[in-house]
Structure 1
Amino acid sequence: MAVNRLMRAALRALSYTDVDFGDQYKMQKKIIRIANHHRKPPYKMWDHVVAYENHAIPVRIFTPSDSESKSIILFFHGGGWITGFIDSYDRVCANLAEMTGYTVVSVDYRSAPEYRFPAAPEDCYRVTREIFLEPSLLQTEPDRITLMGDSAGGNLAAAVSLMARDRGEFFPARQILLYPCAYHDHTEQSPYASVRSSHKKYLLTAKRINDYMALYMADEKDLQNPYFAPLASKDFSNQPDTLIITAEHDPLRDEAEDYGKRLKEAGNTVEVHRIPDALHGFFAMPPVFSQVRDCYKIILNFLKIEK
């Protein structure tokens, strides 16, 4: 219980106030960048770029210290499509590489509101496409690549899987979605109880999700686009083997679990696990926390990794 209380305190310390996020996102971005100033890390990594139209998409590659793995996790970071960036997820991705023994490729997609939907999913798709269609780049085969993301990144991983099916250029074998945003309505009219009962003391509130989405979308029509909100899809078939992990105290809990249900009903192989006494964003905490350790056990089992 002491660890649970510690996690609650740590995550609540990061909780946002109810100020108008439309006026505050730039300051929040600046604070996160200062707090995560990139330094030479104590693990193996290197940077790469993927060219796409008129810009380059930075990616950062993490390799486990004691392994030359041919398996890859392609990771899309969270941050509401707005405040996250590649440096802020260095430690998460390094831990993920060490815990799984996989090479982790972290994607620094364009963020809103400077670049609104569909910039982020298109960047993520482009990087995924290059890694799938040019296996010599990281010396791996397509069936050894897993898509993964947390929160907004989980939304993007799901979107890339839908895009891959619809465009037919490649097909991911697996996806891991950590407490993803899957629906478009987080008001009191939401069909999901976890949204309507979200408490302000938690890291993420329904109001904050609405603030993020308002800055992310380019047009009201985006709300019905499955690449923006995967639950808007009319077709949930032909998706990768899917692991969805949710947090007990998270407004996104119910919609993420419903997305798993829809995928399963469409004939896909799906696992859904809810982490008790966990808050949104818990995977960013160190593995010393029991919720993070439990999450890794589920991930390793899904990937069929013995530790």
Structure 2
Amino acid sequence: MAISKAMHAALHTLSYAANIDVGKTYKVERVLRGLRTPLSPLYRVWDHQIERDGREITVRIYTPKKQTDNRLLLFFHGGGWVLESVDTYNTVCRNLAKWTGCRVVSVEYSLAPEHAFPEGLEDCYAAAREVYRHPEQFGVQSHEITLVGDSAGGNLAAAVSLMARDRGEFEVSQQILIYPATYNDHSPGSRFASVRENGTDYLLTSKRVSDYMALYAGGDPRRIRSPYFAPLLAEDLSCQPRTLVITAEFDPLRDEGEAYAYALRRAGGKVMLYRMPDALHGYFSLPVRFKLVRRTYDMIDYFLNGEAASCRTKMQNEKP
């Protein structure tokens, strides 16, 4: 169902409210989001510690009551590298485990601006290296692990895959990128039309994306030119994992996510791409009763299981 005029007007108003400088409000936003965090049933969840440079990174492991798939999904949450946590993503990861039947491991990486690029990314890489090098600790084999991330988490998943290839410490076989951030320019002069078309009236504004990226970069303009900061800048995208990219129709990040899918395909990668109709950025965190969320699980199911998937969803491999 298309967005109505009344809904668009409401989104327009809410989007202007969202343009408050996140650099001044992120601490309050973290507290407010934490207050809305639902409790997880502890018999299905436990925390594990991974060491990196003398400190510990928490990963939260979700095992569905009915584990129908022995594979593992290594998940990096969204939040613009500044907000959110494994706690605020409890429901998302519980649902992901339940609807895929897979065990999910969610990474608590360091947030900007206290920990600017590449600290959060290095946390994600260290967690991935531990899981891929010692998959038996999680009851899987390395080829049964899939990286998953939404928004900033999609950016981190793509960057971890690039780092894994470049450092040669482990090999990523599959990744799922949900409306990922892949580029470094969200100004009115951006090369992507979706930044201008969807950058003011659909909750996540292009200004807020730019603010998030400025905090993530820590004030150093050199960092935004790194392909680990913005994977679409990578000159070489060969030897990347089999990839599913899902974008949202009314998202300022839509076109850069799709451009990354096409760039991976041109480099010889196996890529599935789907643009979610009528969707806003962040929709994956909505309750499963929403059709577009269930459709996303169908996409993931098809990607993981192919023709064996119960939904038999036909993937969209051509440009929307």
TM range (shorter): over 0.9
Give the corresponding residue for 2:243: 242
Per-residue deviation, residues 14-54 of structure 1 (Å, max 9, x unmatched): 85522222111111111111111x63427611111111013
Q: Which residue of 2 aligns with 1:271?
A: 272
Which structure 2 segments of 5+ residues have no match? 311-320
Match of 2:72 in 1: 72
* 2:284 counterpart residue number: 283
Secondary structure, in 3 states, of the residue corresponding to 1:212?
A: helix
Q: Counterparts of 1:40 and 1:79 in 2: how far apart (Å)? A: 20
CA contact (8 A) 1:43 1:94 kept: no
The Cα shift of 1:69 comes to 4.0
Task: Using the TM superposition, give the Cα deviation of residue 198 of structure 1 relative to its aligned residue in structure 2, in angstroms.
Answer: 2.2
What's the offset of the Cα at 1:306? 2.8
Aligned partner of 1:295 in structure 2 is: 296
The one-letter code of the counterpart of 2:304 is L
Are residue 94 (structure 1) and residue 129 (structure 2) matched?
A: no
1:171 matched to 2:171? The reply is yes
Distance 1:214 1:161 in 2: 23
Contact 1:73-1:148 at 8 Å conserved across structures: yes
Q: Cα deviation per residue 1:83-130 (whole Å; 9 max; x = unaligned)?
A: 111111000000000111100000010000010000111000000000
1:252 aligns with 2:270: no
Summarize the Cα distance change of 1:228–1:276 in structure 2 as closer, same or farther, 3 Å threshold.
same
CA distance in 2, matches of 1:286, 1:5: 24
- The equivalent residue for 1:106 is 106
> What is residue 181 of structure 2 aligned with on the other side?
181
Is the CA contact 1:226–1:232 (under 8 Å) kept in the aligned structure 2? yes
Task: State the alpha-carbon separation in 1 of the partners of residues 293 and 10 from structure 2.
Answer: 14
Query: How many residues of Structure 1 are paired with residues of Structure 2 in the alignment?
Result: 306
Supply the distance in 2 between the matched residues of 1:181 and 1:63 (Cα, whole angstroms): 28
% identical equivalent positions: 50
Q: Is the 8 A contact 1:11 1:282 kept in 2?
A: no
* Contact preservation (8 Å) 1:203, 1:281: no
CA deviation profile, 1:156-182 (whole Å, cap 9, x unmatched)? 000000000000011111000000000
Q: d(CA) in 2 for partners of 1:129 and 1:247?
A: 30
The amino acid across from 2:214 in the alignment is: A
What is the letter of the counterpart of residue 240 of structure 2? Answer: Q
Aligned counterpart, 1:220: 221
Partners of 1:74 and 1:10 in 2: how far apart? 36
d(CA) in 2 for partners of 1:66 and 1:9? Answer: 43
Q: Please, what TM-score do these two structures have when normalized by structure 2?
A: 0.90
Between 3-12 and 284-293, report the one with greater CA deviation.
3-12
Q: Which is further off, 217-226 or 3-12?
A: 3-12
Superposed displacement of residue 200, structure 1: 2.8
Q: TM-score scaled by structure 1?
A: 0.94
State the distance in 2 between where 1:32 and 1:153 align.
17
Counterpart in 1 of 2:161? 161
Q: Give yes or no for the alignment of 1:126 onto 2:126.
A: yes
Q: Indicate the residue corresponding to 2:28 in structure 1.
A: 27
Aligned residues of 1:151 and 1:181 also touching (Cα < 8 A): yes
What secondary structure sits across from 1:19 in the alignment? Answer: coil
Unmatched 5+ stretches in structure 1: none
Q: Cα RMSD over matched residues?
A: 2.3
